[in-house]
Each structure stands twice: as structure tokens, then as C-alpha cells.
Amino acid sequence: MIRSMTTNPARLGWLDVAVATVAVGLATAYMALQPTDPETPDASWWAVPFFAFIAVPLLWRRVNPLLAAGGAAALAGLHVALFTDTVIRCGILIPLCFILAFAVGARLDMNPALLGLGATLLVGLFGCAFDAPTGADVWAMTFVAPVAVAIWVVGRIVRSRGRMVNELQTRTEELRAARDERARLEVADDRARLSAELDGLLQRRLGVLADLAAGGDAADPEAAAATLARIEDESRSTLEEMRSMVGVLRDDASAAEIASQPALTQLDGLLVRAKGAGAKLTVEGNPRALPAGVELSAYRVVEQLLEAVQDAPGVEVGVRFGDQALELRVTGPLRRRGAAAIERARERAALDHGRLEATTVDGRAEALVSLPILAAV
């Protein structure tokens, strides 16, 4: 709300037209209901339509507050010059002074805002010092001027708060973009590491298989059968190691390092850290320990999907333990750059032969993920 009050729109809006229309109507009625001066009845009636123009500058109070304040001051001064002692103006000019004081304070830089304040004080002066029939005089400005200045100061405070909000939103977007980029680099790093590990594994295993094939004795059926059996065993072992690498995505390190990887039991903490206590986690099926690769991928996929939804109430994460697959469901209000995070989550799921389907309805995203449990076994 503060941001909308301090950001100048590029053009007039329906709210500007509505405010100006109401002000013109009130100014016309205010002047028309005043008693006609018997000495100058024609001059009194001419003051009615002319006075209505004083409220027209309210059209530009948001687009160009300085122009609005200056125009209102000029029209008020001209009205005073033409109808000095015949009409009363304070009932319209004083509220107009207050409205314009806030507008110039909230929407202009310091120097233009000070000029605008001077123009609004002139509007108040014209509304106080020249209403001879009511006995109003310059002393009334001892009330109007401090109130107008106080409203102007409130406008300055609102402008300062609005600028802080804009800066915070800009910084937040930059941090989110940096977080998305970091996640993308993590996926790229995992892919590069996996490629290097697979290359080294294949070279070693193919060398072993080649040695076994070269050392076999084709003339001895029993020896050839034994060699083929060893080749089969080594081939199965190679496939199992490759599956383990694809699932776990780790360096050639000890089992202790694997234990430190995130797991499904940490999803609750991840959800609280990422989206606060208002987020909801549900678990269905038969919870059990899964292969380390599946648990790591599930954790990373949920982590990336949480980056795709806003930090707002209504975020839900569901986990279902099936017989053949682990199913994940993440729903919440879609962030502006959430599509990129969803694509990264889809790529991460594909590394474990999983699939991700995402839909968006009325600004709310729902992602369904299925990770095969047996793919990493």
C-alpha cells in the first residue's frame, strides 16, 4: 500500500477522475448554497462555476503534485482577486490545502516538495485571510499552517517508508535470483561430478572385463564357462555401482559422508526454515528407510519446488510411500520466477528416472513428483 501511495503513475487513473469529480461537485454546491450578495448578485453567481475549477487540479495530485498545488494556488488567488468580499471559500480551500500537502510530501523529492508545500500554504491562506463575511483573517493560518506542515511531514515519512519497501523488494528479488542461480549451479556440479565418476568406473570395469576375456581358454569348455560367469558377475557389479552413483551423486568418499546427506526425515525442518510454521507437511503410506539416492533426490526436489512458491500461507508438502515409487506433492502460490525452479526440480527428478508434472490454476502451483524406489537398488 505504501508503495502505491509513493509511486507516480504514468497516466491519470479512474481514482483521480473520481476524486476530482467529487471535489468539483462539493465546491460547486458549497458556493451555490451561499447567500447571494444583494449589492452584486451577478458577481456572486459568477463565483459559483469559477470556484469549481479550483478543485480540477486534484486530477494531477498523483501524476504531477507540484503542478496540482501550483494550479490550485493560482486559481484560488484569481478567485480572491475577482470576488474578494462576496463569498466564503475556507470550507473547500482548507481541505484542498491538506490533501495537496500530503500529495507533494509523499510523491516529490525534497526541493520540489518544499515548493509544493509553499503553494499549498498559499491555498490555505486564500481560504482563511479573505473570507470577510465570516470575519476570518490571517490568524486562522496559525491553525491551518501547522496542520498542513504536519500532514506534509507525514507524507515525507510515507515516502521514506515507500522507498525502503521498494529497496527491500529489489534486494529480495536479487537474493531469490541468486538462490535460483546457486541451485542451478548445484545441479550442473552434480552432473559434472557424476559424469567424471561414471567415466572412471567404466574405464576400470571395462579393463577388468577385457582382461578376463583375454585370459580365458576357449579350448576348455569348463574354463570358458567359468570365465563367462565371472564376466557376468563383474558386469552386474558394474551396473549396481553405476546405479548407486546415479542415485547418490557423491564423490568416491566414505560411507560416513553418505550419512551426512539430507534425508526425508529432515523435510519437516526444511519446510519450517523455508516457509515458516504456517506450512503443512503430510506423510502417507508406510514410512520406511529408502535408498540413499532416492532420499537425497527427494529432499533436493522438494527444496527446489519450495523455491518456486511464495513465502505465504497455504504452502503444503505431501509425501506418499508407495510400493514401487516415492510420490511427492508440493502446492502453494506460484512465485514470479517459479517456473525456472520447477524446471530445475524436473531435471533433478529425471536423474533418478523420476518424473514431475506441474500445473498452475489461479496463481496456485501444484507439482506432483514420482521417484522409482527400485532405480537405486
Per-residue model confidence as pLDDT tens for the chain (377 residues): 444 444 444 567 788 788 888 888 887 887 777 765 555 444 456 667 777 878 888 888 888 898 988 888 888 888 778 776 567 777 788 888 888 899 998 888 889 999 989 899 888 888 777 665 444 455 566 788 889 999 999 999 988 888 888 888 888 878 877 777 777 777 777 777 777 767 776 777 677 666 666 666 556 677 666 766 677 666 666 666 666 666 554 444 443 344 456 788 888 888 888 887 778 899 998 888 888 788 888 999 999 999 888 887 788 999 999 988 999 999 999 888 788 889 989 988 888 889 999 998 888 899 999 999 864 33
Choosing from 116, 141, 170, the residue where a domain stops is 170
φ/ψ bin of 102: left (φ > 0), alpha (ψ from -120 to 50), beta (otherwise): alpha
Q: Please give the helix or strand (H or E) that residue 141 lies within, else none.
A: helix 141-215
- Total domains in the fold of the chain: 3
Neighbouring residues of 83: CB distance < 8 A, sequence distance ≥ 6:
43, 44, 46, 47, 50
> What pLDDT score was predicted for residue 39?
54
Choosing from 170, 203, 218, the residue where a domain stops is 170
Neighbouring residues of 358: CB distance < 8 A, sequence distance ≥ 6:
342, 346, 365, 366, 367, 368
Q: Side by side, which strands form the sheet with 355-361?
A: 280-285, 316-321, 325-333, 364-372, 355-361
Helix axis angle for 267-275 and 292-307, nearest 10°, is 10
Asked if residue 140 and residue 9 are part of one domain, the reply reads yes
Asked if residue 55 and residue 90 are part of one domain, the reply reads yes
Q: Which pTM value belongs to this model?
A: 0.45
In a domain, 141, yes or no: yes
For residue 142 the three cell numbers come to 496559525
C-alpha Rg value of the chain to the nearest Å: 37
Residue 14 belongs to domain spanning:
2-170
- Cα separation, 327 vs 317, whole angstroms: 11
Asked if residue 277 and residue 324 are part of one domain, the reply reads yes
